[in-house]
Structures are given as C-alpha cells and as structure tokens.
Chain A
Amino acid sequence: MDSLEQLQSLLHLCTARVTDPKNPNERGTGFFVAPGFILTCAHVVENAHSSKMAVSVQWAGQSYIAKIGRFRDKPYPDLALLKIDDLTNHPCVYLHQEVRVGDDLYSYGYTDKYPDGDPTTFVCEGSTNEPQPLLKFKFGEVRAGLSGGPLLNQRTGGVCGVVKRTRGTDTVMGGRAIPISTVFREFQELKELQEQFHQQNRQWYDSLMTEQRKVLGIEEGVPKNAANAVEIFYSYVEEDKDMAERLQKHLILLKRQELITDWHSGKLAPGEKPSEQIKKHLDTAKIILLLISQDFMFSEHHDTVEVKRAMERHNKDAIVIPVLLRPTNDLDKAPFGKLLAIPRNHKPISKWSDKDEAFVEVAREIREVVERLRLPNP
C-alpha cells in the first residue's frame, strides 16, 4: 500500500454515517475531528435539532447515539459538531485549511446508492468570495448523502473542507464545500482538541509523505519511532508510588529515544473514567510490569482486574514481568508465581543495599525485552 492509499484508508476509518433518529432514510456523512467529536453539516441533522433529539451515528459496524453539541444553521456556515460519549478508540482526521486551484481532492461518504461508503475524487476550482466562502470543485459526482463528508487535499494530506452541495447529481460538475477556515472560526475549541489528539495519536502523521509534512509544517516533533514504540503498563498500588516513579526514571532514556510509551493510573486525566482507561491500556500494552509488594498482593482490584487481564494476555500478545519491589509471602502461589521475575536473584529491590543498582538491573532487563519486541517479526 503506498502512502496515499494508506491516508485514504485512514480517512475512511475517520468517517461515519449520520442518520436522522425518526427516519433512517434521511442521512448524511460526518467525520471524527477529536475524541468523540464528529463534524458534519447542520442540514444533515436539522430535523433532529429542531425536535431536540439526538442523532444516530453508524461507525465501524456499530450504532451510537450522538448529541448535537454545536449547531450553525444553513445556508451558511451549515456546520454541526456532534458528541458521542464513551467513544474514543477511533482515529481523527487532520484539519488544515490550505488548498489551491488544481489540487487533487478526495472524499468518502455514505451516498444514496452506496450507503456503506463510496469514494470520489475532484479537482479544486477555487473558492467563492468572502464573507461566506465555499470551496468549488469539479470532475467528480457529488451524490446525495455526501453532505458532511471530509474533503481531503491529497497534496497537503490535510482535510480542507466539509462537502455541502452538489452542482448536479448524475454529472461530474462536482460541488461545493465549507472551508476549514470557517470551521475553525465557528468552533474555535477544535484547534486545541486537534492539537492534543494528534500529539498523542500519530496515526495520521505516520500516513503522511515527507512532502506533505513539510506543507503542513509538522515536520518537526514527529517521533520517528513512534509507530513501533512499545507500550509499557505499570501496575502498582498507591503505597509503592515512589518506587514506581524511581523505576520510570531508570527507563526515561528508552522513553526519550521513543522506544517506549508508558501508562499508569497516575496518568489519568481529570474526568477520565479510571476503570475504562485501565482496561484500555491493559489491552494495548505490549509489556505489563507487575510491581510486587505485600500491598499489591493484598489489593483486590489488582488481583481481580489487572493481574487477571495481564495473565490472560501473557505469552499471547503481551509479556508480563513481575518486578519484586518489597518482600512478600507466598509469591510462588500467586497467579504470576511461575513467571520469570526480576531482579533475577529474587531479592526484592527494597532489600538491596544499593537500590539504584537494583533499579539499573531491572531497567536493563526491561530494555532487553523492549529490544526483542521491536525486532521485525520473522
């Protein structure tokens, strides 16, 4: 798959079908712009808006309820921002307003004839004049249902518009789109949400070509290794927070070299649901470190949730490593009792006369595992 195809497939994953709650035959397209946020045209959701109802969104084979968070009526700017609660495991497009006459454009949406998704390409003809600019494009058919679809500029790799109108169904006269500059003007919070998302999730960046990164001005600060960085999950109890932090300090170099990313419950942002985030990262981590102490053994939560899930994944798609922080009883009877624990001499770190030496050894062991995981699959 070349880079452009990769970007197009990613764009498909970012789009969703937006359906009227009363009449499922009335619908359009929308696309993810931030976690849980879908951008579409106001006219796609106007019936739901006037009857104060939520809309239905179909994405990745599932149906979700979306609230109409923001609504800017047609004919202009004709934009709406929908919010789906509890849905964050999706990619988001990269919004960028740049577009020139002659740029190759690509869109994807859920049309009347192809309700499961249909691509179209266009060529940019320019923009109508202020104060209500609309991008004009030709050489492709805008069918009913494409409203609210993303307009990808294939030169820049950014989404530059939201498809709104056709200039003739059954023709290749193309149509018009609301430019992203208008989107940012109407929904100013989107700029920050976009930035936050793309700093954490590199999927869109990774699908761009070098030239596109240059145009979008995001060449700097994109970690080269991010795509295959190994995610480490630290499982520990509050009593061992200090020791967990010390271990993280010993692994900081791996992190700075972008060989690893890490997660622990201390990273929970205000408002995030702990159990969901913990489950999510327990499922995505490649290495799960169980920081063992008697308090850890005593913790019901760690036993029933974190250890349980870790052991399910061990040797299948993750590696579980017990790290002996403090002395415990009956270690060998624990679910992870048979796993290879570090330090190798089974002397808990707290018992070492030089604790730094113990952490260095533990960090070295973890580094070896990271390097092994980063090798290409045979």
Chain B
Amino acid sequence: MEDESGSAKANTQIVGAKLADGTTFYVQARTLGGEADVGIKFASFEKVAKGMERFAETLAGAWKKAEPSKASVEFAVEFAVESGELMALFVNGSTTASMKITLEWNKPSST
C-alpha cells in the first residue's frame, strides 16, 4: 500500500465513502482514471459490498454443483475509483490489497 518513501502511491487516492444509513468513512482506492463530475461526493459503499457478496454467492453456487468434501478460496480486494464510482478490484494476494477474504465450504454431512 505504501512505497519505500512511506507515502501513498501516486496512483491511489483517499476516497470518502458512505453507507446507506449515512455513516461516512475514508478508504484508500486505486485511481483508474476516467472522467468524473467534480462535486465533492462520498461514494456509495453499498455497491462495493454488493459486488463482493455476489462474487461469493457465485463461488458457492459452483461448489454446490461440484460437491467437493471441502473447499476454500481466498481472495484479495483492493478498492478502486473510476469516474467517481467506488468499486471492488479483485487482485492477486499482494500487498496492495485493502482486505483479504477467505471463504470456506464444508460439504454438509449426509446422515
């Protein structure tokens, strides 16, 4: 997340985000560029959360079909901002990730 000099990388920016209930916070996000309106806005975090939720659901769907006895997947998420929209960027498990998420699946034991 930081280069040798200790400062944030040039291609990242600090973005204000908010939840549906109005709670606000800041996240570091990679700048993907793109034109954007320049009113100062807090980006919606719900979309990011929704994106990750759908991603996990899709994986779970695949396991249900394959029915392995046990499975786990780890993915790393970095935040990104493009045209003023905050989004989840799935990255290699590198140091730039903002969070790492591990999903584990155990086949329900048949009685």
Contact = CB atoms under 8 A, between A and B. Distances in A.
Interface of A: 22-23, 25-28, 41, 43-44, 74, 78, 112, 142-148, 163-170, 175-176
B92 interface: no
26 contacts: A23-B18, A23-B22, A23-B42, A25-B16, A25-B42, A26-B40, A27-B39, A27-B40, A43-B37, A44-B39, A142-B38, A144-B40, A145-B40, A146-B38, A147-B37, A164-B38, A165-B37, A165-B38, A166-B35, A168-B33, A168-B35, A169-B31, A169-B36, A170-B31, A175-B38, A176-B35
Given A23-B22, A25-B24, A41 B36 contact: no
Interface of B: 10, 13, 16, 18, 22, 24, 31, 33, 35-42
B38 A147 contact: yes
Contacts of A28: 38-40
A166 B38 contact: yes
Nearest to A171: B33
Given A25-B24, A169-B13, A169-B31, A163 B39 contact: no
Given A144-B40, A145-B40, A169-B13, A23 B35 contact: no
A167 B35 contact: yes
Contacts of A78: 37
B38 A144 contact: yes
A167 B84 CA distance: 11
Contacts of B10: 170
Nearest to A22: B22
A163 B35 CA distance: 13
Which 8 pairs show the lowest CB-CB distances between chains A and B? A147-B39, A28-B39, A44-B39, A147-B38, A144-B40, A145-B40, A43-B39, A43-B37
A341 to B, nearest CB: 59
Given A25-B16, A26-B41, A166 B22 contact: no
Nearest to A28: B39
Contacts of A148: 39
Contacts of B24: 23, 25
Nearest to A176: B35
Contacts of A144: 38-41
A143 B42 CA distance: 15
